[in-house]
Structure 1
Amino acid sequence: MSSSTISDTLSNDFATPIAQRVQQRGLLARLRAATCYVALLVSFLQINGLQFLFLPLALLPPTRPLYHMGIRYTKAAFGIVLVFMCQAFAPTKFRVTYEISGSYSEEWLEVDPKSGSLMLKLPKKLVVISNHQIYADWWYLWVLSYMANTHAYILIVLKRSLKWLPVLGWVSDWYHLLWKLAAHHVTTTADRPEDDEPLNFLLFPEGTLVSRDTYPKSTKYAEKMNLPHPEHLLLPRSTGLHTTLLALSQLPSLYLMDVTMLYPGIPVTKFGQDYYTLRSIFIDGVSPPEVVYHIRLYNVQKEVPIRANGTDTNTGLTMEQRKHLAHSMSKDPTMLEIGEEDKVVFDTWLRERWREKDQMIDSWLKRGGKGPIATGDNIKEVVLPVKLRSIWELVGPFLAFAPIAVAYYSLSNRSS
């Protein structure tokens, strides 16, 4: 599908605050909004229905692998829907820069053999962190995972308040229920360090959006704790990330992916939600012309100080020793307790990454808020169109309800 869609007929005044935009009230705008709502509602209800159908499989250990397989299918379908909604209603592209130096020496890009599309080639096991400007951040990061073919394995820690969003709130509320089951799955993954199954665990260390309400609270806390505060970000909270990395620390190929993401059109002294909301992007059709990313990768065992006694933790263990240690950690929660010295060291390390992130954002804004976030000899750049690799990928999400319809039809015939 071409990026020349319905939204081309609407104003794409992304640099104007939402409150000052001229609202489109014509027939075409109403038709566009209705089509977007229906597409979202139908696909999300179908996917949620299929998840509900899979839920009984999670109750018994023998069928639990089938449950996780089914949920992976629905998450892949959900990711495809997110890409389609961008392609059809909110066209954009991703400008991605990445650092080729460091512990990750693999090629970052590969060509999909079926479609010929350029894709990101990332480590299989990732804990992903990002700054948080707008509610659409998680949407675009899920789309980014589609470009790395890990959208079926994503697990996102979202704000509980998202349950009140129309349609999307139902999905986030449902995924909150699935989170309790997924937490067990993550523990199981940690208990099998030899397992080659991908892992894509996403969280936002800031805990919430940068806004006119949260920024003063963050600066006040920084003053109280005598800590320097970023100019464009909130202070990151380290406990959730620290515990997650510690729980997964025996995975020999685990990487921490630090993402900095930005949107054009937001002035230095303003906040993202004044310019981009889920409604303004997808219903009103005022999407960012591009989403700008910078990615850094850290080998968790070698480059991240999850323990105060050094970053190179347990790297000399054999796989059998790792399996034994991982199993012990999954059974004994006290092994995941974070000491005060560990907390100080990791918290300092994370704040330093946020300071670097803040400097990159500041430099980007001073360059006019355009182009790549980072430049340099060790920086590579790629621009990826946000579109499906094949239109046939939509068959899964929009026919996901078919098994439920067949089951209902069969039961109806039996009862008649």
Structure 2
Amino acid sequence: MVAKVFQKFNHLIISLVSIGVFIESAIVLCSIQVATKLAFQKNTKWYQKCMDSTKNYFIMIVTAILSIAAPSKVRITTCDDSIAKGRFLMDSQKGRISSTLRPNVVVICNHQIYTDWIYLWWVAYTSDFAGRVHIMLKKSLRSIPLLGFGMSNFNFLFMNRKWADDRINLLNTLKELDANARGLGPLAGKNPINVDEEGVAIWDCKSQPTIEEKTASSKCWPYTFLLFPEGTNLTDNTRSKTLKYANKVNKKPFRHLLLPHVTGLLFTLETLEPSIDVIYDVTIGYSGVGRSSYAASKYSLKQIFIEGKYPKLVDIHLRAYKVKDIPLKDEEKFSEWLYNVWAEKDDLLEEYYTTGSFTEDSTKATTVVDKFNIRTCEFLLVALVPSITLLFFLRWLYFF
């Protein structure tokens, strides 16, 4: 009994400290962003470098906090037939998993809990692409104090969920991402070659950089665009809705997934086609979740940070699809392709809930396991901000 009370008290302290560290760090990051806006108004290259640094630092903060409040392990499995062996490995120098993923990719994933995006962002971080991650979010999130301002400066896309309102905004943002990735955008000092009557910027689509140029930030600015085609978490409520929709469109519903939405993903791939050649498909599974339970109800933000209930193991399965093999020019065929991808994901999750992993055949897949963490030096850097704040506060108390 005493041990349980002490454990709850200990986790409460960790949660309160985590919240404090997060708020302090968010204030510092927003302050850096304001200073960047003032200092580099006319130097777009240095402006973007500074903003990318704050984006990279943000995922370091979140990872550091989760590694203390919810110290999970991560097991990454890659299909050898689509992702070459050695793309993920344990890096002894960095003290964590390191990867060499392709630049300029769209990452699609099933959506189970609100922290899914953190693990996807962390995967990009292992390839040193954390500063170039872009996420599509609900417009209401832009109103969150501090976070909304910071995410706006990250160039995240805030959507109304109404296609008529979102189309032009999404199109211009994606076209600029594509142009910057090919060294033909504003970050390379270039302008659109024209603007049509709807206000859509038209960029040069003919020039194509080499792989080496794609990874050289001095000319090209690679992107990793995260998308959840299901649109929301899997719950009893959303499952009920997707069952009705599946019957309406005459599709067989999935056991462990919602039906994916076609429009946003197809539009994104069509727009980014000049610079993108690979899609990464990610399937996430959480230990402690079975066929009859939902990760969203088992690992809510409250349960993770307040009650100390978190997945001991996060399983991440990756496979790659070449864009040239995807039928982008035919919406009906693309819809069928995406449905088949989700059907395969559903089978992967069925295997996961049966065996406890995404694959037991080591001849067809590569697996790397490590703690969900960042480098020790980066962890110390994250801890530096609240430490300095605490010292100033104590000094202020002393003089007061």
Note whether the superposition's TM-score is higher than 0.5.
yes
1:10, distance to aligned residue in structure 2 (A):
8.6
Kindly report which structure 2 residues correspond to 1:308-319, keeping only aligned pairs within 5 A, or say none. none
Q: Report the equivalent of 2:147.
A: 171
The secondary structure found in structure 2 opposite 1:143 is helix
Letter of the aligned partner of 2:70 in structure 1?
A
Q: Give the 3 Å change call, closer, same or farther, for CA 96–26 of structure 1 in structure 2.
A: closer
Q: Report the equivalent of 2:368.
A: 382
1:306, distance to aligned residue in structure 2 (A):
1.4
Kindly report which structure 2 residues correspond to 1:214-229, keeping only aligned pairs within 5 A, or say none. 214-229=238-253
The secondary structure found in structure 2 opposite 1:83 is helix
Q: Check if 1:82 corresponds to 2:82.
A: no
Q: Check if 1:188 corresponds to 2:186.
A: no
Aligned counterparts of 1:293 and 1:348: Cα–Cα separation in 2: 24
Match of 2:227 among 186, 203, 208: 203
Aligned counterparts of 1:393 and 1:299: Cα–Cα separation in 2: 36
Alignment coverage as a number of residue pairs:
338
1:112, distance to aligned residue in structure 2 (A):
4.3
Q: Give the 3 Å change call, closer, same or farther, for CA 111–290 of structure 1 in structure 2.
A: closer
Contact 2:105 2:278 in 1 (8 A): yes
Q: Report the equivalent of 1:91.
A: 71
The secondary structure found in structure 1 opposite 2:302 is helix
Q: Report the equivalent of 1:4.
A: none
Aligned counterparts of 2:261 and 2:344: Cα–Cα separation in 1: 16
Q: Check if 1:39 corresponds to 2:21.
A: yes
Letter of the aligned partner of 1:189 in structure 2?
N
1:189, distance to aligned residue in structure 2 (A):
2.6
The secondary structure found in structure 2 opposite 1:50 is helix
Quote the sequence identity (%).
27
Q: Check if 1:343 corresponds to 2:325.
A: no
Letter of the aligned partner of 1:257 in structure 2?
Y
Letter of the aligned partner of 2:352 in structure 1?
W
Aligned counterparts of 2:150 and 2:174: Cα–Cα separation in 1: 14
Contact 2:72 2:314 in 1 (8 A): yes
The secondary structure found in structure 2 opposite 1:157 is strand
1:105, distance to aligned residue in structure 2 (A):
3.9
1:136, distance to aligned residue in structure 2 (A):
0.9
Q: Please say which of residues 275-284 and 174-183 is displaced more in the overlay.
A: 174-183
Q: Report the equivalent of 2:259.
A: 235
Match of 1:131 among 110, 113, 128: 110
Give a deviation string over 1:83-138, Cα, whole Å, max 9, x none. 21122221011111111113x44631356474354412211222101000110111
The secondary structure found in structure 1 opposite 2:375 is coil
Match of 2:124 among 145, 163, 169: 145
Q: Give the 3 Å change call, closer, same or farther, for CA 210–159 of structure 1 in structure 2.
A: farther
Contact 2:15 2:306 in 1 (8 A): yes
Q: Check if 1:359 corresponds to 2:347.
A: yes
Q: Check if 1:73 corresponds to 2:53.
A: yes
Q: Report the equivalent of 2:134.
A: 155
The secondary structure found in structure 2 opposite 1:350 is helix
1:228, distance to aligned residue in structure 2 (A):
1.5
Q: Give the 3 Å change call, closer, same or farther, for CA 213–348 of structure 1 in structure 2.
A: same
Aligned counterparts of 2:78 and 2:312: Cα–Cα separation in 1: 20
Aligned counterparts of 2:24 and 2:3: Cα–Cα separation in 1: 24
1:205, distance to aligned residue in structure 2 (A):
0.4
The secondary structure found in structure 1 opposite 2:381 is helix
Match of 1:212 among 222, 226, 236: 236
Aligned counterparts of 1:173 and 1:276: Cα–Cα separation in 2: 27
Aligned counterparts of 1:171 and 1:154: Cα–Cα separation in 2: 16
Contact 1:37 1:283 in 2 (8 A): no
Contact 2:280 2:318 in 1 (8 A): yes
Aligned counterparts of 1:110 and 1:223: Cα–Cα separation in 2: 43
Letter of the aligned partner of 2:109 in structure 1?
S
1:206, distance to aligned residue in structure 2 (A):
0.4
Letter of the aligned partner of 1:149 in structure 2?
D
Aligned counterparts of 1:395 and 1:29: Cα–Cα separation in 2: 23
User: What RMSD, in angstroms, separates the aligned Cα atoms of the two structures?
Assistant: 3.0
Q: Give the TM-score normalised by the residue count of structure 1.
A: 0.73
Q: Check if 1:305 corresponds to 2:327.
A: yes
The secondary structure found in structure 2 opposite 1:251 is coil
The secondary structure found in structure 1 opposite 2:156 is helix
Q: Give the 3 Å change call, closer, same or farther, for CA 265–173 of structure 1 in structure 2.
A: farther
Aligned counterparts of 2:47 and 2:62: Cα–Cα separation in 1: 23
Q: Give the 3 Å change call, closer, same or farther, for CA 212–53 of structure 1 in structure 2.
A: farther
1:389, distance to aligned residue in structure 2 (A):
1.6
Q: Check if 1:395 corresponds to 2:375.
A: no
Match of 1:28 among 10, 27, 41: 10
- Structure 2 gaps, min length 5: 158-171, 184-207, 215-220, 389-400
Contact 1:154 1:201 in 2 (8 A): yes
Q: Report the equivalent of 1:282.
A: 305
Q: Check if 1:53 corresponds to 2:53.
A: no
The secondary structure found in structure 1 opposite 2:137 is coil
Contact 2:299 2:310 in 1 (8 A): yes
Q: Give the TM-score normalised by the residue count of structure 2.
A: 0.76
The secondary structure found in structure 1 opposite 2:236 is coil
Q: Report the equivalent of 1:333.
A: none
Aligned counterparts of 2:302 and 2:142: Cα–Cα separation in 1: 15
Contact 1:43 1:397 in 2 (8 A): no
Aligned counterparts of 2:309 and 2:266: Cα–Cα separation in 1: 37
Match of 1:296 among 316, 319, 326: 319
Kindly report which structure 2 residues correspond to 1:248-267, keeping only aligned pairs within 5 A, or say none. 248-251=272-275, 254-267=277-290
